[in-house]
A and B are shown apart, each in its own frame.
Chain A
Amino acid sequence: AQKVTQAQTEISVVEKEDVTLDCVYETRDTTYYLFWYKQPPSGELVFLIRRNSFDEQNEISGRYSWNFQKSTSSFNFTITASQVVDSAVYFCALSEGRAAGNKLTFGGGTRVLVKP
């Protein structure tokens, strides 16, 4: 069965500090997708990134970067030079693909608090 673990429940940083969120996953499939979503206090989940299991290239988008390592089953997310607007709960999620109905399994989430 698939499982996603976000060991950090809450991280507090001061503005401009970097923050890295850990995500470790378990799956028996060779084809799967990994996601990160942001949930600000307003409640909606905002899609940040999707990565498939065959693409281990790291990705950078502005102040966000992602490090995917199949060898350690991890898909970590770093926010560089954090800002107060980055305060939110961040969820890592796994989808095992069409055979599993493309359902998402979410980690427990990491609450990030960026203080001015």
Chain B
Amino acid sequence: GAVVSQHPSRVICKSGTSVKIECRSLDFQATTMFWYRQFPKKSLMLMATSNEGSKATYEQGVEKDKFLINHASLTLSTLTVTSAHPEDSSFYICSARDVKNIQYFGAGTRLSVL
């Protein structure tokens, strides 16, 4: 099956700093990638849709200036959590959609903001 790599798997940072998370589709091209947030023992909440070469589409209630998304190539999307605060601590997971419209997911990034 298709492989999506997400890096880093875990990050601990100080409050006020910015954190960048990368999502790469390794064996297929993805014009569309998605970013989700998952709270403990909860389901996945879609944050935004990342489109190659254009601006991301954010879900209602998600601050676009807080969560910057860049999709500069057909295999890479990045999520930057700017000026992170403890309430941003969460599990962030990305997916890449293939030509069959199946989303393949990365292994997730656990962010802890101190």
- Report A's interface with B, CB cutoff 8 A: 33, 35, 37, 42-47, 50, 91, 95, 101-104, 106-109, 111
Q: With contacts A102-B97, A103-B49, A106-B43 known, is A45 near B32, CB below 8 A?
A: no
Cβ–Cβ contact A102 & B32, under 8 A: yes
**B contact residues, total (Cβ < 8 Å):** 24
A25 to chain B, nearest CB (A): 14
* Sample of 9 further A-B pairs with CB below 8 A, known A43-B93, A104-B34, A104-B46: A33-B101, A42-B107, A43-B108, A44-B105, A45-B95, A47-B105, A91-B44, A101-B57, A102-B97
A4 to chain B, nearest CB (A): 9
Cβ–Cβ contact A102 & B57, under 8 A: no
Cβ–Cβ contact B102 & A50, under 8 A: yes
